[in-house]
Structure 1
Amino acid sequence: MPAPFHGELTLPNQAEALPIARTYLTHLAALAALPEPEAAAVVDAALEACANVVDHAYEPGEDGIFTVVGGVDATGLTVAVRDQGMPIDAERVGSPDQSPARVSASGGLGLIRRSVDHAEWIRRGREGKELRLVKRLPSESVHGHLDAADEPVDDEEEVPLAPEQEYAVRRFEPADAIGVSRCIYRVYGNTYMHEACYYPDRLVALNETGELASIVAVDAAGEVAGHYALERPGLTRVAERGMAVVSPAHRGRDLMGRMRTAIEDEARELGLTGVYSVAVTKHTFSQRVNEAFGSDVCGVILGGGPADQVFKGLEEEGEKPQRVTWVQYFTYVHPPEEALVHAPARHRAIVERIYSGLGLPVEWHDEMEAPTLGNGQVDVTYNLGLDTGTIKVLQVGDDTAAEIRRAADDLFGVTGAEVVHLWLPLADPAGPALLEAAEADGFFFLGVGPSFLPDGDALCLQRLAFDLDFDYVEIANPFARELLDYIRADRDRVQAAQPAAT
């Protein structure tokens, strides 16, 4: 396991600086113990980001600098390229014909997308921008530890139930990692969307950093029979409940319920504001689990999950493959005293319905302010595994609408995202002013994200790069069905207002 390391290198925006950057990046990849060809690919991707700064961040003849920040930990390598120049222009750097990549003929940002596990664009207003790249350290997958008993089956009745016995539900320990990966494989085969679940060493590392807080159910022989986790990338104050699975031989014994209770206790001990979960709509089982624990519907995410995820024994023969829609549920753990909400008039009624379900007092404000002069702050992330981008508005400025448009163009046109989410700050009186511009860019209503932003709640919007067949969306909760109808109507309204393609 590599030793922790953090370093920064600041260089002038000159082509002569790129070989120096390459040498530094090569040493970072070596410190992270990345093997070839992954190490060379990451170096090329990060160097491409540096070349984009040299070529495009500053006006011709303008002196500037960029900083390459490297971090190595147990999970792999993080590289951030920071500058104080102009925002990325997808039209200039996204095409190999208009702007050939310095290190590859395939185009700059396309190369970056293929070479790393996670890419995040952070637009910091007057402080410039940052492109953050993450490459996880390769580790041995669970596939070398599987036997015939681990093979997934289409019908859980084909698996003999384990004898009745006592189970322990407790916090994850490193020795449990292989058992967790095997449990995931038994249920999902190779189709589960969280790749880390198939790599025991990654599960251990993520639990050590706190980005995962795993709970396991262990049988009398000490074997892992189930797993549930809080997912906290960036150690945020709101975590996602996920990676929930029970081995088929141990179902029907309330292990999922016991682990869910332990997860809620863990969230309280961590001091989290709240926890959320997404329930698939290819079936209603996970929705009903959330209902049984009193979680509240706060949104419906169209096409949130990948189309290739398999649900053993739950798919209808010949079912049309499409991205999976999610119902989003939320539970407060340590709620704020009240929510400060500047809701756009168009969505005020449905937002009130969502907050009524959440049971939190709301300080409603009808006034709407124009964005203040100056730069806002926008955080842009891309999830390669889900082909999904997220644009978070952290501070509204008079350039924020243009930043949102530019970020959406980058995510759809360059990285190839299929879904992009947009979070607007409900606590900011200038937040509602962004809605009209966002709708002009194709974004429509999704729901509310309680405490999803540093300063409060988010008005969540979404935009899709595909059409969705609603006949394959199955929802149990009456309000969630009503919310889906609202979202569908809003999508149709926004799409009808888009200019005709030329």
Structure 2
Amino acid sequence: MDSAPICTNLKEIDRISPMSNDSTQSQGNSHEVQIAHLTILPEEKYLSAIVDVVSDLANANGISKKDTGHLDKVLVEIFNNIVKYGFQEDTCKPIEISIFKRLHTFVISLEDKGLPFDYENLELGEDARFKSYLSKSYADQVNFYCLGTLGNRTEIVKNLPASDIREEMDISEHHEHLKQEPAQLSAEIKIDSFNHSKVHELVRLVYKCYGYSYANEFMYYPEQIEARLHSQLMTSCGAYNSDDELVGHLALIYSKPGAKVGESGEAVVDPRYRGHHIFPKMKTYMTEHASSHGVIGVYGEAVTVHPYSQKGSLELGSCETGFLLGYSPGTVSFQNISEDEKPRRQSIALMFTPILKSKPVKVYVPEVYKEIIETIYSRIGFEREYISENINSKYSKKGNGQMTVSIRSDHNQGIITVDEFGKRTLEEIHFHLKQLCIQRVDCIYADLPLNKKGAGYIASKLRELGFFYGYLIPEYSDSDVLRLQYLNNVEISREDIKTASDFGEHLLDLIINDWSDENR
């Protein structure tokens, strides 16, 4: 059976890359610190001792007794399921347990050499290791990794205590801030690297500007921002007025330290300073910073309820590489834009800004998208050698594949990320697609590494399941990535989506037609 890491986040999930089976790997990552490691036989008499150790360490890291009790219940269930489904009641095989801190979270990792996940039994409900955790709410995140001959890893993740600025400030401060007089256009503004001592000022700025509606939850928690900054997974700049007050912020987010591309995000501009061109100035600053650190390109999302965000990115050298239809819930309000009582989900444009030259590489592209993919690479100036594949191409993978399945509950999205193609990759994606549809996930994405042979074949076969073109990100996670999208009974209106260029209009029409073809 193909191996596939499975990741189920119960509250909010970011993209997660599979780790090696070396439990000491966390020591080499700046955002992970191992606290403890032990090897134990999975016998009932040892379980209470394990629970006591985990509870004491969780308490020592500030987790409340109530939350620790919840973690214990998840740990006991996972432990028992490993013995029942992985070891088939054989208690002579050891389990490796590691406890460490990752960013601002407390992580319990269990590794075993038991049987891999059986997708047929999962679908029949006879293997509870996956389904049982979908209903859990005690952990903030539970990650599953099936590693083939290397066994399995299960991670229980709990956010460490953090101060929530929304509990410290009153919503009236948000409303009053929006009423303040705009700053003089002659006001002096300085763009510089973000001063980490201003993290608390940043979360207050987010709240004053957005109230409860900012998209990324962690921006309300100073400890979580600090953890990302110190881990080098996030680097930021700030806009400061003459009184050294923070009036703007922009960050680059990386999937891992040393990544070749970064995501531009966490943008905040004080409404008093709109019209001062703070955002383009910050974007220019971060682009220059990225270039000096060897970053090849920057990608970002632009809203499509109006064309101005896309237009601003185009003026700074970006190019559209795709559109995700119905990407976010239709709950975000924009001034002077009318909304229905039940607004439709909103689409986004994916903008990519090339910074440095990319080395020419082979990409295995689906024949049906070859022309548009070639056009996108040409527009961003990246040279590629194209190898077309279709549903009739030879696909003879014999080894184990690797993939991650994640759920982003705030946007009701599911992301299936393929790292390695295997003999059962298509079957596994189909299984997860059905499970995500049953869970009523609105938008489901499949991310395919184009530098791996078989990417074009798998993409072509996924179109038969209802997937269609989403976007392209060059150099993401050690490969150019093609994202396909699937809409699970989501209403989309072409009139809701605004573009800012002729090419953007052409690309959107292609995507809409591709979606229509797959829904006939």
Give the TM-score range, shorter chain: 0.7 to 0.9
Amino acid at match of 1:286: S
Q: Distance in 2 between matches of 1:296 and 1:364?
A: 20
Instruction: Write the mapping of 1:414-425 to structure 2, written as runs, cut at 5 A.
Output: 417-425=441-449
Q: Distance in 2 between matches of 1:186 and 1:213?
A: 22
Higher normalized contact order (CA 8 Å, seq sep 6+, divided by chain length): 2
* Contact kept? 1:32, 1:76, Cα under 8 Å: no
> CA separation of 1:285/1:408 partners in 2, compared to 1, >3 Å: closer, same or farther?
same
Q: Which runs of 5+ in 1 are unaligned?
A: 497-502
Q: Distance in 2 between matches of 1:229 and 1:120?
A: 27
Deviates more, 1:353-362 or 1:114-123: 114-123
Q: Which runs of 5+ in 2 are unaligned?
A: 1-31
Q: 2:78 aligns with which of 49, 64, 86?
A: 49
TM-score (normalizing by structure 1) = 0.86
* Contact kept? 2:117, 2:146, Cα under 8 Å: no
Q: Deviation per CA, 1:363-421, whole angstroms, max 9, x where unpaired? A: 1123654132121122333333333232222111212222323333454446x643221
Q: CA deviation at 1:246?
A: 0.7
Instruction: Write the mapping of 1:224-263 to structure 2, written as runs, cut at 5 A.
Output: 224-235=246-257, 236-263=259-286
Q: 2:195 aligns with which of 165, 170, 173?
A: 173
> CA separation of 1:322/1:42 partners in 2, compared to 1, >3 Å: closer, same or farther?
farther
Q: 2:425 aligns with which of 389, 400, 424?
A: 400
Q: Distance in 1 between matches of 2:452 and 2:312?
A: 34
Q: CA deviation at 1:11?
A: 4.0
Partner residue of 2:386? Answer: 364
1:160 aligns with 2:198: no
Q: Percent identity?
A: 25
Q: CA deviation at 1:46?
A: 4.1
Partner residue of 1:463? Answer: 486
Amino acid at match of 2:309: S
Q: CA deviation at 1:56?
A: 2.5
Q: Deviation per CA, 1:7-55, whole angstroms, max 9, x where unpaired? A: 3334445666644443343234223312243333333334433333333
Q: 2:459 aligns with which of 418, 435, 459?
A: 435
Q: CA deviation at 1:75?
A: 1.0
* Contact kept? 1:42, 1:116, Cα under 8 Å: yes
TM-score (normalizing by structure 2) = 0.83
Instruction: Write the mapping of 1:332-371 to structure 2, written as runs, cut at 5 A.
Output: 332-366=354-388, 368-371=393-396
> CA separation of 1:443/1:148 partners in 2, compared to 1, >3 Å: closer, same or farther?
closer
* Contact kept? 1:120, 1:382, Cα under 8 Å: no
Q: Distance in 2 between matches of 1:129 and 1:331?
A: 38
Q: Distance in 2 between matches of 1:234 and 1:397?
A: 24
Amino acid at match of 1:371: S
SS in 1 for 2:344: coil
> CA separation of 1:239/1:124 partners in 2, compared to 1, >3 Å: closer, same or farther?
farther
1:277 aligns with 2:300: yes
> CA separation of 1:459/1:173 partners in 2, compared to 1, >3 Å: closer, same or farther?
same
> CA separation of 1:298/1:174 partners in 2, compared to 1, >3 Å: closer, same or farther?
same
Amino acid at match of 1:25: V
Q: Distance in 1 between matches of 2:516 and 2:420?
A: 29
Q: CA deviation at 1:486?
A: 1.8
Q: Distance in 2 between matches of 1:133 and 1:284?
A: 42
Partner residue of 2:320? Answer: 297
Q: Distance in 2 between matches of 1:366 and 1:440?
A: 17
Q: CA deviation at 1:195?
A: 0.7
Instruction: Write the mapping of 1:1-80 to structure 2, written as runs, cut at 5 A.
Output: 4-12=33-41, 18-58=47-87, 64-72=93-101, 75-80=104-109
Q: Deviation per CA, 1:309-362, whole angstroms, max 9, x where unpaired? A: 333x14314364233211001122333222421111122122122222221111
Q: 1:216 aligns with which of 238, 259, 269?
A: 238
Q: CA deviation at 1:220?
A: 1.4
